[in-house]
Amino acid sequence: MRIVADTGRCIGAGMCVLALGEVFDQSEDDGTVVLLDPEPPASKAAEVRRAVQLCPSGALSLVEPPPG
């Protein structure tokens, strides 16, 4: 999976960072999301999905690889 972050929508709430700090961080300038690992391994998929769902502004989305 690949994570896509729309920093224009991010309100810097930091929920994603709290949920999964290995993958998400926040910019020191404006607090918007920074992806530390935009293509996390499948072993982290469940945690990544949870973090994406927690985002209050809908700034995060997931792109799943095509089957096969």
Rounded to a whole number of angstroms, the minimum distance from the CB of residue 64 to ligand SF4 is 19
CA distance 33 to 35: 7
The dihedral through the CA atoms of 42, 52, 58, 33 has a sign that is negative
Rounded to a whole number of angstroms, the minimum distance from the CB of residue 58 to ligand SF4 is 8
Beta carbon nearer to ligand SF4, 10 or 48:
10
Beta carbon nearer to ligand SF4, 21 or 68:
21
How many CB atoms within 10 Å of residue 30? 9
Residues forming contacts to ligand SF4 in the complex (CB under 6 A) are: 5, 10-16, 24, 26, 33, 55-57, 59-60
Beta carbon nearer to ligand SF4, 54 or 66:
54
How many CB atoms within 10 Å of residue 22? 12
